[in-house]
Amino acid sequence: MADLHDANPAHDSGSVYDGLLDPGAVDGHWAFGTSFEDPLAGVDTTVPSGVDAGDLAAYCLMLGDDALVHSHRLTEWCSNAPDLEEDIALANIALDLLGQSRLLLARAAAADASVVPALPEGSPAPPEDALAFFRDEPAFRNVRAVEAPNGDFAVTVTRLFLLSCWRLALLEGLARSRDQVLAAIAAKGVKEVTYHRDYSARWLVTLAQGTDESRRRAEAALLTVWPTVAELFATHDVERRMADAGVGVDPATVRDQVAAVVDHVLATAGLERPEVRGMSGVRGRTGRDGLHTEALGHLLAEMQSVARAHPMGVW
């Protein structure tokens, strides 16, 4: 019988690393994710009545891809940030977004399994990892704002600020979704994106009110990021249908709420709201339709290549 004082098996065998050699997992772990097979294990993922499962899956992919791609961009700062504290801060924020993305992609797969790319038989990749690593660029539904290269720290902070204002407003609305899974993911996400927004807003004010050089960079960053903002509030058909069904939030409806926060921070920072045109789509198609900038292809190549080369990878 086990000693009840210590139920952690790692302690019995002497090394904290022994836990990595999971004796229960005879086939090893999927090499590119954690071994927690299903982040929604035991969660009721029944699609609410009257809701189209394909639409719900597409909608979850949109929100999940926003978080996934933005998370990947932020992790590019690892070991490159201006100082250790910002390095850790950006990695923490990226981790939150990655977690939200994992839940959202898993929710998409649970709503409609047909969105998950087919993998070789016996591949250990869970559905959310198949979605992250094995979809081609046109199947990604993220807004184009999240895929743009990081630029300097000012561009990254400015983008994080504008995206966090928008995402927080969406998640606050989604916490009341008729889909209980989406509502739970959103309620959790609100807590996290709240401090993403605070962090980036503080930095934007600090840069704008700092030295001549930091102010020059903050002004330039705003001009760089602003053209990607209009797309955030353009309603896709899927978003409209999900909003009508009481499941999603029509992004056009949070425009004023987001603008109030953005204007407040810009005023505090002493920055002008830029008068620049939004980035155009191609024949009306934008990120939500799977139409992306060249930057996403490069990002996906880096993010996906190892997993794609080893779809059966275990360790």
Window of 47-55, 131-139, 151-159, 175-183 that interacts with other proteins by CB under 8 A: 175-183
Which residues does 299 contact at the CB level (< 8 Å), separation at least 6? 69, 72, 73, 147
If binding is defined by CB under 8 A, does position 280 make contact with other proteins?
Answer: no
Window of 49-57, 190-198, 211-219, 295-303 that interacts with other proteins by CB under 8 A: 190-198
Degrees, nearest 5: CA angle 132-122-134: 20
Residue number with CB closer to other proteins (79 or 277): 79
If binding is defined by CB under 8 A, does position 310 make contact with other proteins?
Answer: no
Amino acid, single-letter form, for residue 243: A
**Measured from the CB of residue 188, what is the shortest distance to other proteins in angstroms?**
4
Q: What would the x/- binding string for other proteins be over residues 79 to 108, using CB under 8 A?
A: ------x--xx-xxx-xxxxxx-xx-----
Residue 23 is encoded by which pair of tokens? 């004796």
Choose, by CB under 8 A, the member of 199, 238, 243, 300 that binds other proteins: 199
Beta bridge partners of 30: 314
Amino acid, single-letter form, for residue 271: L
What 3 state SS string does 162-209 have?
HHHHHHHHHHHHHCCCCCHHHHHHHHHHHHHHHHHHHHHHHHHHHHHC
**Measured from the CB of residue 64, what is the shortest distance to other proteins in angstroms?**
11
If binding is defined by CB under 8 A, does position 183 make contact with other proteins?
Answer: yes
If binding is defined by CB under 8 A, does position 313 make contact with other proteins?
Answer: no
Which residues does 204 contact at the CB level (< 8 Å), separation at least 6? 157, 158, 161, 218, 265, 269, 271
Q: Please, are residues 186 and 106 in contact by the beta-carbon 8 Å criterion?
A: no
d(CA 130, CA 126): 6
**Measured from the CB of residue 283, what is the shortest distance to other proteins in angstroms?**
36
**Measured from the CB of residue 129, what is the shortest distance to other proteins in angstroms?**
13
Q: Give residues 124-163 in contact with other proteins (rule: CB under 8 A).
A: none
Choose, by CB under 8 A, the member of 14, 26, 27, 41 that binds other proteins: 41
d(CA 93, CA 91): 5
Residue number with CB closer to other proteins (36 or 298): 36
Binding site for other proteins (CB under 8 A): 1-10, 19, 22, 24, 34-36, 38-43, 85, 88-89, 91-93, 95-100, 102-103, 168, 172, 180-181, 183-185, 187-192, 194-195, 197-199, 201-202, 205, 257, 261, 264-265, 268
